[in-house]
Amino acid sequence: MRVNAVFCGMLFFGVAFAAATGRMDAAQRALLGGGAQAVELCLSLAGAYAFFGGVLGVLREAGVCDALARRLRGPLSRLMRFSPGEEAALTDVSVNLAANLLGMGGAATPAGVAAMRKMAGATGGRASEAMLLFFVVNTTSVQLLPASMIALRAQAGAASPADIVPATLISTAVSTLMGALACRAFEARARRRR
């Protein structure tokens, strides 16, 4: 699937719907305001990113990141099926997965983006098997503790705010497993066609 097609599909459908229902003024507001949302989001993230980036920089200098990557090299290479050249992203992939598990989104996302960039540098403008699996694992697995949802339920006066944790963990595990299996199935189909 092409990002271009998704973008154009959303654009044409949205504008056509607004035209048909007489909501062009709302559509115009949305188009002008969407970019501002992105800027606000990035600004609100910048402080945490600078902090986590700094911590990671210190950990890297101290050799901790390389040690983590060395430990995970064997199991990760088997799971991810890196193409030649993509192993340069191994440190960032390890940091991303570790930070995700611990719920440190401020550290996970920059590492994830850096990992994708390094893998893309090795494969050109097309997503590779390792990049796709890495993306799907990132979209389906989240922190061990869904802190923001627990906070939301506590604020609303739930009897036991954290009792959604077991169901959340099982749901996350099922989604990661099925997402990874879907990747394997799509990849096998692509190979058969070639």
Task: State the nearest-atom distance from the C-beta of 100 to another protein, in Å.
Answer: 9
Task: State the nearest-atom distance from the C-beta of 80 to another protein, in Å.
Answer: 14
Q: How far from the centroid of its chain's Cα atoms is residue 111's Cα?
A: 10
Residue whose C-alpha is closest to residue 122's, from 96, 146, 90: 90
**18 is an interface residue for another protein by CB under 8 A:** yes
**42 is an interface residue for another protein by CB under 8 A:** yes
In the complex with another protein, which residue's Cβ is closer, 25 or 74?
A: 25
In the complex with another protein, which residue's Cβ is closer, 73 or 132?
A: 132
> Is the distance from CB of 179 to CB of 136 less than 8 angstroms?
yes
Task: State the nearest-atom distance from the C-beta of 20 to another protein, in Å.
Answer: 9
Task: State the nearest-atom distance from the C-beta of 74 to another protein, in Å.
Answer: 24
Sites for another protein among residues 167-186 (CB under 8 A): 167-172, 174-180, 182-183, 186
HSE-CB of 177 using CA atoms within 13 angstroms: 6
**53 is an interface residue for another protein by CB under 8 A:** yes
d(CA 66, CA 40): 34
Task: State the nearest-atom distance from the C-beta of 73 to another protein, in Å.
Answer: 21
Name which position in 156, 192, 193, 194 contacts another protein (CB under 8 A). Answer: 156
First to last CA, the chain: 17
Residue whose C-alpha is closest to residue 57's, from 22, 87, 8, 92: 92
Sites for another protein among residues 71-100 (CB under 8 A): none
How many CB atoms within 10 Å of residue 20?
Answer: 8
Sites for another protein among residues 105-134 (CB under 8 A): 109-110, 112-114, 116-117, 119-120, 125-127, 131-132
**151 is an interface residue for another protein by CB under 8 A:** no
d(CA 119, CA 35): 28
Task: State the nearest-atom distance from the C-beta of 76 to another protein, in Å.
Answer: 17
